[in-house]
Amino acid sequence: MIQKQNITPKDLMGEPENAPDVDRISLPPLQTEFFSPQGDFRFTVSTPDKWKSTQGYGRLVRLMGNVSEIIWEDKLPQEYGPRYLLVGQQGEVLMLDEWINVKSKYAIVVLNPQNELIIQHDFDNVQEILDVPTSEIVQRATGGSWWLSGPPSLDESGSKAYIPTSDQVLKVDLQTGQLSLLNCSDPVISDQFLHKIR
């Protein structure tokens, strides 16, 4: 089963076969594809064993007309892969949270197009940046995430990501890894922008 980007986590949920109700967790699709804004790159998260193990794999492919070139492929650090993923215009990969709802050491991971780590932040780093109590962040989280209150989005250039969390927006520069915080009550941020990221 292949899912496309911009599908909500609710639409992606599956269930393990023959699992007791008490131990049942929602599993990701067997394969999910994400595309850069112009469609030049495709990133695929997949499982080789139908999620019998928690190991996910990622593959970045450059698309050039009818030709595709594998840039890199590797194991992913998150259990069952990331909860959210965006592909930047230059092939950067932003992975947020883990598929399972846990306090993750992979809250924010940005890889460059060569699969080199640009930044990695655990949840405690994110909480420190947000300066909001953990209980409040978790309470406002949605879609199976530990800390995001909605799906992330890219700006028009495809080089910056906006992550809604706890009535704030965390901006991530995909090329440098720089994080900055936007306040949703700031009048400079337009209603149209807020509508897009909330």
- Decide if pLDDT at 160 tops 60: yes
DSSP-based three-state secondary structure for 127? helix
The whole-number average pLDDT for the span 33-48 is 98
Residue 109 to residue 120: CA distance in whole angstroms = 4
pLDDT digits (tens, 9 = 90+) for 96-113: 999 998 999 999 999 999
- Mean pLDDT, rounded, of the chain: 86
CA distance 73 to 77: 13
What is the structure's pLDDT at 183?
A: 67
Predicted pLDDT at 25: 72
Q: Give CA torsion, residues 127, 130, 131, 134, to 10 deg.
A: -40
Better-scored residue on pLDDT, 28 or 183 = 28
pLDDT at 7 over 60: no
Percentage of the chain lying above the pLDDT 90 cut: 77
Q: What is the pLDDT of residue 144?
A: 87
- Residue type at position 111: L
Nearest by Cα to 60 from 80, 40, 77: 40
pLDDT-derived band at 17 (thresholds 50, 70, 90) equals: very low
Tell me the CA distances in angstroms from 10 to 38, 68, 161, one per residue in order. 26, 30, 21
pLDDT surpasses 50 at 10: no
Q: What is the pLDDT of residues 138-155, one digit of tens each?
A: 999 998 899 999 999 999
Is the Cα dihedral 99, 103, 108, 114 positive or negative? negative
The DSSP secondary structure of 79-102, one letter per residue, reads ETS-SEEEE-TTS-EEEES-SS-S
Q: Which residues, other chains included, contact 151 with Cβ-Cβ below 8 Å and sequence gap of 6+? A: 6, 8, 84, 143, 164
Residue 110 bridge partners (DSSP) = 94, 119
Question: What residue has token string 């420190």?
Answer: 128
Residue 24: what pLDDT? 61
- pLDDT for the residue numbered 187: 54
In the chain, the percentage of residues whose pLDDT exceeds 70 is 80
pTM over 0.95: no
